[in-house]
Amino acid sequence: MFRVIGVVGAGTMGQSIAEMLAVKGMDVHLVEKTPEKLQHAVDMLEASLDRQMERWAITAAEKKLTLNRIHMETSLYHLASCDLVIETISEDMDSKKAVLQQLDGILSKEAIIASNTSTLSLTELAGASQYPERVIGMHFVYPTNRIDVVEIIRGLQTSDDTFDRTKTFVEEALSKTGVMVYESPGFVTTRLVCLLINESLHVLEEGVASPEDIDSAMRLGYQFEHGPLEMADRFGLDAVLAALERMFREFGELKYRPSFLLKKKVRAGQLGVKTGIGFFKYDKDGERL
């Protein structure tokens, strides 16, 4: 079983994955390009754990232990001892390929490289590695500590051993349900939730209901934790736009064409929780105002 795990990318998803792994008792090496970005990740991790302390979900000792298990790094070379590396950088194929190529010269041949991509081709990505059989998709849904499903995506050359070890890790070490998904843009979760968000935006554009009432209708009517517009804010409106645009290019179907309102929000820099405003307003801890 994997005990030392690397996470490449200390953005929102990278932080969430690192925290979840550390809570489960694993040593995590969290890699980001600059000390400034790493410090921001530390601040956000502490804020997340503080919120849990306020709810009496964890103690101060548990918070300290979790943070002590997360080692902040600015170089991929610190991942040499890792059994598994999870890549969570931005959805750019060239950047992800560059990371895989660097990891080829750092990791042991037995180590697994998992990408958290939601829309890019796993087969194409794995082709950048000298060992494509050890590359797999492990798509977590945010917030990872509360969502009990992980999509496990096989590329064309992913080996049975890589898949079996990954599925065992997800289900036994993380206590989550591993869902095997065949490679397709958006997989299952991203593909379906982005369509829901996009249609909600069309409903808003048409003046059918206010943002608050759209979210209330879906949250109360279908027992969603958040309505579709708040979900978009929490994912990041730029990430939702990018996912829709990629699926529109891949499938060529109009249902994936992003709402113009979504484009306007992104152009205005109103990206959701990360900027404090999207369809709703949020405080520095990501709580809705």
Tens digit of each residue's pLDDT (9 = 90 or more) over 204-248: 999 999 999 999 999 999 999 899 999 999 999 999 999 999 999
Structure token digits, residue 174: 């993380």
Across 106-123, b (16+ Cβ under 10 Å) vs e yields: bbeeebbbbbbbbbbbbb
CATH class of the domain at 189-275: mainly alpha
Query: Strand order in 27-31's β-sheet?
Result: 70-73, 27-31, 4-8, 84-87, 112-115, 135-140, 149-154, 177-182
* Equal CATH topology for 4-182 and 189-275: no
CATH superfamily, with its number, for domain 4-182 = NAD(P)-binding Rossmann-like Domain (3.40.50.720)
d(CA 19, CA 61): 15
Q: Specify the pLDDT at position 265.
A: 98
Domain ranges, ordered by start, for the chain: 4-182, 189-275
Instruction: Return the pLDDT at 278.
Output: 97
Give the residues across from 177 on adjacent strands.
149
- Residues with Cβ < 8 Å from 73, sequence gap 6 or more? 29, 30, 31, 32, 38, 79
Residue 138: name the closest of 105, 110, 108, 174 by CA.
Answer: 174
- Return d(Cα 287, Cα 169) in angstroms, integer: 32
> Omega before 228 cis (within 30°)?
no
The encoded tokens of residue 95 equal 């950047």
Residue 286 banded pLDDT, cuts 50, 70, 90:
confident
Contact 76, 8 (CB under 8 A): yes
| Residue 181 pLDDT > 80 | yes
**pTM value?**
0.89
Q: What is the pLDDT of residue 146?
A: 87
Report pLDDT digits (tens) over 112-163.
Answer: 999 999 889 999 999 999 999 999 999 999 889 889 999 999 999 999 999 9
Cβ atoms of 279 and 289 closer than 8 Å: no
If DSSP states are collapsed to H, E and C, what string results for the chain?
Answer: CCCEEEEECCCHHHHHHHHHHHHCCCEEEEECCCHHHHHHHHHHHHHHHHHHHHCCCCCHHHHHHHHHCEEEECCHHHHCCCCEEEECCCCCHHHHHHHHHHHHCCCCCCCEEEECCCCCCHHHHHCCCCCHHHEEEEEECCCCCCCCEEEEEECCCCCHHHHHHHHHHHHHHCCCEEEEEECCCCCCHHHHHHHHHHHHHHHHHCCCCCHHHHHHHHHHHHCCCCCHHHHHHHHCHHHHHHHHHHHHHHHCCHHHCCCHHHHHHHHCCCCEHHHCECCCEECCCCCEC
Predicted confidence (pLDDT) per residue in 83-111, tens digit: 999 999 988 999 999 999 999 999 999 99
